Structure 1
Amino acid sequence: MDHSEPYSSVGLGQRIRELRVRRGLKQQDLASEEISTSYVSLIEAGKRAPSDTVLGTIAEKLGSSTEYLRTGRDQHQMEEARLKLAFGEMALRNGVDGEALQTFSELLNGNLPLDATMKRRARMGQAAALEKLGRLEAAIPLLEELFADPALAAGSDEWCRTAVALSRCYRNMGDITVSIEIGERALSKLDSLGLDVTVDHVQLGSTLMASYHMRGDQTRAHLLGQRLIPIAEKQGARASRGAVYWNAGLVAQSRGQMAEALALTERALAMMAEDDNVRHVAVLKMNYGSLLLHTESGDAARAKEFLEEAQQSLAESGNADELARCELILARADTMLGNWDEAAAHAERALGLLGTEPRVLAVFARVALAQLHFLRQETGRGVQALEAATRQLRHFHASYETATCWRRIGDLWRDEGHAKQALAAYDAALSATGLQTTPNPRDALSEQASR
């Protein structure tokens, strides 16, 4: 049965007939002083649309509800579906992502009736659960389908959340170009609608800032941050303001302005600490811990305190990508503290969390392990890890993130005395930033001579 069938006299008549036959009743059994047998026959044939009063009398005799006769949706089943949907959304908020995914999948594939709005909520929940579980390749098609749905009104809260999630998933998959295209189109659409500037602008803008940052486009990210901060301050929502300062801190760090980066991140942390989103606060603590490792003093002990707090929260409410990133920063902190075995364990856990899907983060994990092998005089294993990282990194699009990774690989090859491999990695890092190799005039002359 099509649970989403709209109200029509034909569908209604078919349902009345099906229920009557199922209950062993005749048409005259539905008749009364107000309803003749012939009128019942016309209703079942779809040639008459009964009034609410007549429909109520027929529903009572059939032991059904008028809601079911009109729409094919049983009120009790609808309530069960609503409760199950709410349970899935609660599980998602509480970080029980596997249970949330199972609940949404059962709703979408089961027999409970769902109207169009409930279906969209269940699909969005399913995509969110897949993203938090690190299954980005499965989440993206669902989000693409939702975003292309004409019933999803541009500028609505659902539309904005879908745009943010889709842009974020592509970014975390390493496809920064597509991530930015989605974010720019969505933000431009919001602007073109002529609506009052809202928190949705801030959320979309923050996501776009992060993608600009990862591509290495720090000027655009900085300019967007300058536009968003006054909007966020005007809106007054502490979480959205915190998100803008958070990304502005990342941009300042990339521009080498560490004091400003720390100040912005501290401000974001103060704003978001009062928010009930445990995951956001945890990710911000992780970023703050990472910043502390990059300061001149390199306060690894204090950074580790923030990172361990973040790790505990992310284990309950974060996704695999965020937890893996936290493990890698903890590996860096323990490396700086001389705890090399603990650092290696963190890097191994990061690799395990990232699974088999292609991630730049997995390359960073292999590079971290290579460094630790070299520190522990395990030269052979270090070379193997670094060669594996190099092979894997070649498959990703050029971005600020891949350039950073190539630079780290080059530094490790250099420190171990492998000049040829170091030069190749540095060359790849420069290419990832958009700088191309300078042509050698001798090569052109040799080519002309060979013709």
Structure 2
Amino acid sequence: MGAASNAALEGPLVLEQPTFGRRLRELRLARGLSQAEVAEGGLSTAYLSRLESGARPPTAKVLEHLVERLGVQPSTFQTVELSPLGEVLARATSADDQGTTALPLLDAAVRESGDKDVDLRWVSLWKLTQLHARQGRLPEALAAARTLAALSDQIGVPLLRERVHTHLAWCLRESGEIAEALVSAQAAVAIAEEHAIPQPDTVKARLVLISVLAESNRLVEAHAEADKLLAVTEELNGLALAEVLWSIANVHIREADPVGAAELLDRALRHLDSRESPLLWMRLRMAAASLNLQMNPPRVESAERLLNEAEAVVKIIGTPVHEIELDVIKAHLAFQQGDLGAARELYERVAPSMPQLSYRDRVRVELLHNQILILEGETQTGVRHIEELASKAQEHGNAHLVSEIWRVLATTLSGPAQAKRPPAPPSR
């Protein structure tokens, strides 16, 4: 062989049976060659047959002959095989329908992998918890995130630990487990500070921490964390800046500062181009519409405009979960507009899909339902159910949600002007 061919043989190759034999047979058949034609001039047909069957390992001399006869590079015979978990991960990641195809594949693979392939198990769990979260399967997302956090702590890579604890805190917050969410969010921020984690990841960790502190009604601490992020807003791009302003607006809402919240939301909306991230553009408008309806007094016209803008995008790129969330906000809008009939209809449409919503959204939907009951005359039933909601929120450690529930109950019982009965049908 020439110098170029000899050079091609340099360097370590992984040539293991039976994978090598299968690859050899594939190459031979692809070229339309018989075993005798490939073996000619270097080895016997019987030996080649044993190579293809995996019964004999290849030697350097045999490899040189095969490279020459088949006209390939030695690396063509590289026989690194995917592990079972690696193969499943590859199939799941490349699947067109992630929800239908990838989820059951990854679920089964993670359950059967045990302690093998730690790196692939980490990637599989990360993919799994993300997919569950996008599909609105919060209990499954949380279970995968808990397992992933333990594995990440075992691996010990700071960046992975920070990302996983941030995601775990988000899952816990969405599930209403506020006390545990706070522990995980604080751990993520501590890891980020100790190991100088890149700014985008650090910002995400602080955003989750701010939201959890706000849910805990620890508003002084939430505001202090918000100020730290505001100090670096000039360094953030449109996407990151919009998320930061959105989170800080939530703090202002909880501080009973609707003017400050509105200014931050308006700034976030101005800074985000729909072409940069249509999904975030849509989500931000839905969030802004929801926050506008929570203001005192509610900004109904602004909420309706934002909701209409978001709905146009939901129809194009939204998931089933986004459609449910949109109906939730539309129900609150109908209620604030005094259309109890439309609000009830939207509630009944959302009710079967409640498990796909976050804990806070589930509570707010049930709260709305019971407001409707009270205004329709079923006061005792509505009040009892609202008291139960407050008790459960207290058990979850969600102090801000508890105060919101009691405030809404008091407002509803006092007969707010905007919560009117639907108009009577016209006489014939």
Residues 269, 284 of structure 1: 8 Å contact kept:
yes
What TM-score, normalized by structure 2, do the two folds share? 0.72
Deviations 1:293-322 (A, max 9, x none): 355553313322212333443465556666
Distance across 2 between alignment mates of 1:85 and 1:122: 9
Residues 347, 369 of structure 1: 8 Å contact kept:
yes
Q: How does 1:115-194 map to 2 (within 5 A)?
A: 123-147=125-149, 148-149=151-152, 153-155=157-159, 161-194=163-196
Partner of 1:254: 254
Residues 323, 350 of structure 1: 8 Å contact kept:
no
Q: Which amino acid counterpart does residue 199 of structure 2 have in structure 1?
A: T
Q: Which amino acid counterpart does residue 136 of structure 2 have in structure 1?
A: G
Distance across 2 between alignment mates of 1:275 and 1:12: 49
Q: 1:206 aligned to 2:214?
A: no
Q: Which amino acid counterpart does residue 177 of structure 1 have in structure 2?
A: A
Q: 1:54 aligned to 2:58?
A: no
Residues 371, 409 of structure 2: 8 Å contact kept:
no
Shift of 1:246: 0.9
Structure 1 residues 141, 68: CA separation in 2 closer, same or farther (over 3 Å shift)?
Answer: farther
Distance across 2 between alignment mates of 1:84 and 1:371: 44
Q: 1:100 aligned to 2:109?
A: no
Distance across 2 between alignment mates of 1:253 and 1:356: 25
Q: Which amino acid counterpart does residue 402 of structure 1 have in structure 2?
A: L
Distance across 1 between alignment mates of 2:119 and 2:315: 32
Partner of 1:288: 288
Partner of 1:216: 217
Moved more, 166-175 or 353-362: 353-362
Distance across 1 between alignment mates of 2:41 and 2:406: 88
Partner of 2:310: 310
**Residue segments in structure 1 that go unaligned for 5+ positions in a row:** 1-6, 89-98, 417-451
**Residue segments in structure 2 that go unaligned for 5+ positions in a row:** 1-11, 29-33, 110-116, 416-428
Q: How does 1:375-394 map to 2 (within 5 A)?
A: 375-377=375-377, 379=378, 383-391=380-388, 394=391
Deviations 1:62-120 (A, max 9, x none): x999556521359xx98x986873554xxxxxxxxxx322232366469xxxx987775
Which of 81, 103, 106 is equivalent to 1:72?
81
Q: How does 1:423-434 map to 2 (within 5 A)?
A: none
Moved more, 35-44 or 174-183: 35-44
Deviations 1:252-286 (A, max 9, x none): 12112221111111111112234533332223212
Residues 167, 179 of structure 1: 8 Å contact kept:
yes
Partner of 1:371: 371
Residues 209, 224 of structure 1: 8 Å contact kept:
yes
Q: How does 1:6-25 map to 2 (within 5 A)?
A: 12-16=16-20
Distance across 2 between alignment mates of 1:100 and 1:216: 37
Distance across 1 between alignment mates of 2:389 and 2:130: 27
Q: What SS is found at the alignment partner of 1:134?
A: coil
Shift of 1:207: 1.7
Residues 366, 385 of structure 1: 8 Å contact kept:
no
Residues 292, 299 of structure 1: 8 Å contact kept:
yes
Q: How does 1:21-40 map to 2 (within 5 A)?
A: none
Shift of 1:409: 6.3
Moved more, 243-252 or 389-398: 389-398
Q: What SS is found at the alignment partner of 1:70?
A: coil
Which of 79, 90, 93 is equivalent to 1:85?
93
Q: 1:353 aligned to 2:353?
A: yes
Distance across 1 between alignment mates of 2:65 and 2:213: 59
Q: What SS is found at the alignment partner of 2:276?
A: coil
Deviations 1:386-426 (A, max 9, x none): 4345445544412134313541464278559xxxxxxxxxx
Residues 104, 123 of structure 1: 8 Å contact kept:
no
Q: What SS is found at the alignment partner of 1:13?
A: coil
Residues 249, 265 of structure 1: 8 Å contact kept:
yes
Q: Which amino acid counterpart does residue 202 of structure 1 have in structure 2?
A: V
Partner of 1:434: none
Shift of 1:369: 1.4
Distance across 1 between alignment mates of 2:223 and 2:99: 37
Structure 1 residues 318, 139: CA separation in 2 closer, same or farther (over 3 Å shift)?
Answer: farther
Distance across 2 between alignment mates of 1:136 and 1:127: 9
Residues 328, 350 of structure 2: 8 Å contact kept:
yes
Structure 1 residues 405, 348: CA separation in 2 closer, same or farther (over 3 Å shift)?
Answer: farther
Structure 1 residues 194, 374: CA separation in 2 closer, same or farther (over 3 Å shift)?
Answer: closer
Name the structure, 1 or 2, with higher relative contact order (CA <8 Å, separation 6+).
2
Shift of 1:344: 1.5
